[in-house]
Amino acid sequence: MFSITKLGQPVKIPISLSGTFAELRSDHFHGGIDIKGTVGTPVYAVEDGFLYKLESKGTGYGNVIYIKHKNGYMSIYGHLSAFNTPFEEHYYKEAKKYKKSNFSVYFKKDEILVKKGDIIGEIGNTGFSFGPHLHYEIRDLKHNKQVNPLFFSVNVKDCSPPEWTALKLIYVDENRVSRSERFVQLNKNEYFKVDTLDLLVGKSALAAQVFDGMEGNNNRNGVYQLKMYVDGKLHFHFLAGKIDLEESKYANALIDYKENKLSKDIFYRCYRLPGNNLKSFKHLQNDGYFNVKYGKITNIDVEALDYAGNYSRKRIAIRGIKGYLPSLPFHNKYVYRNVDNQLKTYFIEVNIPKGAVYQNIPFMYREINERRRETFSRIHSVHNDNEPLHKDIFLSIRSGIIPDYLREKAFISGCNQQGKYINYGGKWRKNFLEGQVDKFGEFSIMIDTIPPTIKDLSLVGRGKKGILQFHLSDNVDLPDQMDYPFFKVTLNGQWIRMRSDSKSGIISGHLPVDLKKGKYEIKITSWDKMKNINHYTKLFTVWK
């Protein structure tokens, strides 16, 4: 393991965090810490090692550097505005060879050595980032884990305790399905609070909305530790120390997924769903569930801690009462987490494999009685997207009448949170289009014959200061986080490197520094997954 005394700082500015390790993010735990900064602030290698990978994308970590160190550790520096000059030259050489702008370049062991304290890049806002910062991450390659970088003596000043916003009391049935919920709003200025609340007799659980703040920082970061005590005994303990890379999707089981979908609020479940095999639970009594008894008072204490040792605590008292259990919403059947499940009608087959859901769920399927001009099948509502999936499920949808020449343009379509169609692909089996999807929701067969749109081309200056910029978009998205639609840019037939920004759809890049007097043609080619292609050409003249 790294010697803490020898591990350097990734930046030489006062460190304030806009994101903490193992925060609950969409479909994953945050794998590092986010250090606030301004674009152009130098970033330093934290230890001796060798360059393992350079990557430049419009999504994910954007411009990112991977450095391998001794003893099987790797440090990662993401969302950079630029690599240092030697790294940039190596990257450009390989990208030009393969004529790819969004590209990953790998290096052999000790091919390019890095010394502790070397400037390797600059803070930026590239990739899936919404403000300038450095994503700093440490991985234990031997055990395939992301490790909290604060273990390695990052200089963070933090005197603020975590702040509580709300608690949610949840009554569950014999399948541990939520049947009723009660919200408890908390006053963050009160250190300790006692309330007596009525709750139905039986098995219950608790979810907590709590975040970690820092001085001079309005970000609501994730907490380092979360504990729950029932009548003075530890019942639940989560610690954000290490996350197995293969377990990151269990974030969907630790977060109250439905609440987050509906309100965007983040609640930690202080209990373990049956299919949540995360190893970051340090203690679980009865999986975090507790029994509420008639007429008796149960005291619940919750405690949150940050890495600096600041903590805050809340208490509620629960009294058991008798009452009527709310009925379950309409459902066709139960889907069980520990077996393969299948639903079959004349128009669709749905296969939900073992381990795809985190608990047994009352499953709802229906056909949507609506005709949409762009669909070539019936529209199928497969449960709802408020329920998370840990594995892909498999769909086979019967098509309507599709001409033979359009069958290669057909795909299984879903819909994202912004209301845009998603291309899940698919393969034909007679009149059925088969594929797999990573979420519940509405699905149908669609045809895509529309090429990507290229617009707003601008050309400013030439040489080192010459910048080419245009906007690229497509009518359909892909489910994976990747640069899309695909593109290639040439100048008089020669490839030139461009950078993409998935947030804005803007593609930009510098013209070659050695442009001479003469006429030039810029050609942009863009294509989508269904091989619909668009070309855009612009002529310009260099006069001197």
β-pair type (297-305, 103-106):
unpaired
How far apart are the C-alpha atoms of 190 and 167, rounded to whole Å?
14
How far apart are the C-alpha atoms of 220 and 18, rounded to whole Å?
8
**What's 333-447's CATH class?**
mainly beta
Query: What is the predicted pLDDT for the residue at 5?
Result: 46
Query: What is the predicted pLDDT for the residue at 485?
Result: 92
Query: What is the predicted pLDDT for the residue at 263?
Result: 93
Name, in order, each residue with C-beta under 8 angstroms of 169's C-beta and a sequence gap of 6 or more. 181, 182, 184, 197, 199, 204, 205, 206, 316, 318
Q: Does domain 453-542 have CATH number 3.40.50.620?
A: no
Distances (CA, A) of 466 to 3, 102, 296, 526: 46, 20, 75, 22
| DSSP letters spanning 204-246 | EEEEEEEEEEETTEEEEEPPSEEEEEETTEEEEEEE-SEEEGG
Domain ranges of the chain: 4-152, 163-321, 333-447, 453-542
- Where helices occur in 37-151 by DSSP H, the ranges are 85-98
Fold type of domain 4-152: Glucose Permease (Domain IIA) (2.70.70)
Decide: 114 and 50 in contact? Cβ < 8 Å.
yes
β-pair type (393-398, 518-527):
unpaired
H or E, element range at 200: strand 196-200
Name, in order, each residue with C-beta under 8 angstroms of 273's C-beta and a sequence gap of 6 or more. 176, 253, 358, 359
The DSSP call for residue 135 is E
Query: What is the predicted pLDDT for the residue at 192?
Result: 54
How far apart are the C-alpha atoms of 408 and 414, rounded to whole Å?
18
| Global pTM value | 0.93
- Nearest alpha carbon to residue 353 among 324, 391, 327, 315: 391
Query: What is the predicted pLDDT for the residue at 193?
Result: 59
* Bond before 485 cis per omega within 30 degrees: yes
Beta bridge partner(s), residue 62: none
How far apart are the C-alpha atoms of 204 and 397, rounded to whole Å?
39
In this structure, the dihedral spanned by the alpha carbons of residues 231, 233, 236 and 240, taken in order and rounded to 10 degrees, is 120
How far apart are the C-alpha atoms of 475 and 488, rounded to whole Å?
19
Residue type for 164, please? W
Decide: 120 and 67 in contact? Cβ < 8 Å.
yes
β-pair type (393-398, 379-382):
unpaired
Query: What is the predicted pLDDT for the residue at 467?
Result: 86
The pLDDT tens digits of the residues spanning 359-411 come to: 999 999 999 887 777 899 999 999 999 999 999 999 999 999 999 999 999 99
Q: CA gyration radius for the chain?
A: 27
The pLDDT tens digits of the residues spanning 398-449 come to: 999 999 999 999 999 998 666 789 999 999 999 999 999 999 999 999 999 9
Query: What is the predicted pLDDT for the residue at 2?
Result: 46
How far apart are the C-alpha atoms of 498 and 469, rounded to whole Å?
9
- For the stretch 383-401, what's the b/e string if a residue is b when 16 or more beta carbons lie within 10 angstroms of its beta carbon? bebebbbbebbbbbbbbee
Q: How is residue 158 written in tokens?
A: 């933090």
Chain-centroid distance of CA 345 in Å reads 34
Query: What is the predicted pLDDT for the residue at 4?
Result: 47
Give the chain's residues under pLDDT 50: 1-5
Decide: 77 and 64 in contact? Cβ < 8 Å.
yes
What is the biggest distance separating any 2 CA atoms in the chain, rounded to whole angstroms?
A: 90
Query: What is the predicted pLDDT for the residue at 48?
Result: 95
